[in-house]
């Protein structure tokens, strides 16, 4: 659901949602050319927070990651990276 939700937000070239703890998500963003990174982040944060609240997961924090989306060793970008 998260991937589909983020795909609908304009201004995003690539993203990754990384579960950093049981109750926190880090969002790595690469905004599209010409998009305002702060506006993109605000839209992403609002939509993820809304979805979490709807599913009674409002205790989960959503943070903006400093690093951009990363490729796996196989060269692919995974949109969702669960806690290992």
12 with 31: CB under 8 angstroms? Answer: yes
pLDDT band at 72 (very low <50, low <70, confident <90, very high): confident
Report residue 28 as tokens.
Answer: 């790595």
Sign of CA dihedral 40, 73, 25, 47: positive
Whether residue 21 lies inside any domain: the answer is yes
- CATH code of residue 49: 3.30.300
Please report the pLDDT score of residue 73 as a whole number.
87
Q: Percent of the chain having pLDDT more than 70?
A: 100
> Which residues form the domain of 49?
2-69
Q: Report in angstroms the alpha-carbon separations of 66 from 25, 74, 79, 80, 81.
A: 13, 23, 16, 17, 16
Looking at the structure of the chain, the number of domains it has is: 1
Inside any domain, residue 82:
no
Measured between alpha carbons, how far is residue 69 from residues 14, 53, 72, 77 in Å?
Answer: 7, 25, 10, 7
Query: 14: pLDDT confidence band, cut at 50, 70 and 90?
Result: very high
């Amino acid at each position: 659901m998260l991937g589909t939700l983020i795909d609908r937000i304009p201004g995003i070239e690539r993203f990754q949602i990384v579960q950093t703890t049981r109750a926190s998500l880090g969002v790595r963003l690469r905004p599209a050319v010409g998009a305002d990174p702060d506006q993109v982040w605000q839209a992403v944060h609002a939509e993820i927070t809304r979805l979490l609240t709807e599913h009674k997961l409002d205790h989960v924090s959503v943070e903006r990651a400093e690093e951009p989306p990363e490729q796996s060793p196989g060269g692919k970008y995974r949109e969702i990276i669960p806690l290992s």
